[in-house]
Amino acid sequence: MKGFYVLLIMCFFQNIFFAQKDSLRDNNLEIYRNTNDERCKADILKARQDAKNANIYFLVLPAPQLEEFLPENELKNLLAANDIKWGGFQFGSDISAYYPKDCYASEHNKLTEEKFGEKKLENLVAKSYELFAKNNFRRVFEMSEVDAKPKTNIENEKNIENLFWANLEEPTGYTTRKPPEHLSYVEVVFLIDQRGKVTDLKINSKFQNPKNKKYTKFFQKKLKKLVNGTRWEPNRYKGFAVKSRANFRINLILL
């Protein structure tokens, strides 16, 4: 019985402790929100004052931003041609917190969109992508920078692998792989231009068994012929055809 009362008293004080803790947390949160509200109000007032002298626009990017916004210079020039000053980037977030310039940038965008129209600003951003692709005709875009790989090219890679193995006669004297050895492979790296033409094709290969290196030319020649004989679709950056790097590997799983 005595133990029961001790446990009851402990629960009672524990409830008081957590109630006080929750109250303190709520109080601190309210202070934090009020402080942020005051900061935000000050930023909004400053933005309204600055907007009397210049139309300013910030580009909103999701945070954390994994994709670099490449046409910054093109967008700056397009905005300037429309009497709009480039403000920089505003990184959006779904975390409720105060970030310097957030309220300032948001208010500027609101005022600029009210004056010029939200659709017009969206069109300027879209135009900046087009100009960047045209201005960088010789630039080689990496796969991380382009849109999703065209379905045609995905199918091409599968077809090439199937054709690579079709009627493939094992070279005389080739040492067959034995598990659990690592795979040997042959890999191709090349550029696809805006018309889908293949250039700068390079073939690399690795053979787990050093004795098989003498067959390098045999496998590389077959893959090179297949890649050059395939019609490729150009990769695209925001919908615009660009020169880009491509690569894929065929594991020599049967050897």
pLDDT band, very low/low/confident/very high, at 23 (cuts 50, 70, 90): very low
Tens of pLDDT, residue by residue over 91-130, are 766 555 556 678 899 999 999 999 999 999 999 999 999 9
Q: Mean pLDDT score of the chain, rounded to an integer?
A: 82
Q: What is the rounded distance in angstroms from the CA atom of residue 38 to the CA atom of residue 35? A: 5
Q: DSSP secondary-structure letter at 215?
A: G
Mind listing the domains of the chain with CATH numbers?
Answer: 10-135 (no CATH), 151-251 (3.30.2420)
* pLDDT computed for residue 79 by the predictor: 98
* Strand partners of residue 85: 56
- Rounded distance between C-alpha atoms, residue 89 and residue 58, angstroms: 5
User: What average pLDDT does range 210-235 have in this prediction?
Assistant: 91
DSSP 63-108: SS--S----HHHHHHHHHHTT-EEEEEEEE-SS----TTHHHHHHH
Q: Give residue 65's region: left, alpha or beta (phi > 0; psi -120 to 50).
A: beta
Per-residue confidence at 18, pLDDT binned at 50, 70, 90?
very low
Better-scored residue on pLDDT, 128 or 252: 128
Determine the pLDDT at residue 45: 92
Q: Give residue 50's pLDDT.
A: 95
Per-residue pLDDT at 22 = 42
φ/ψ (deg, to 5) at 14: -65, -40
What order of strands is seen across the sheet that includes strand 198-206? Answer: 198-206, 185-192, 244-251
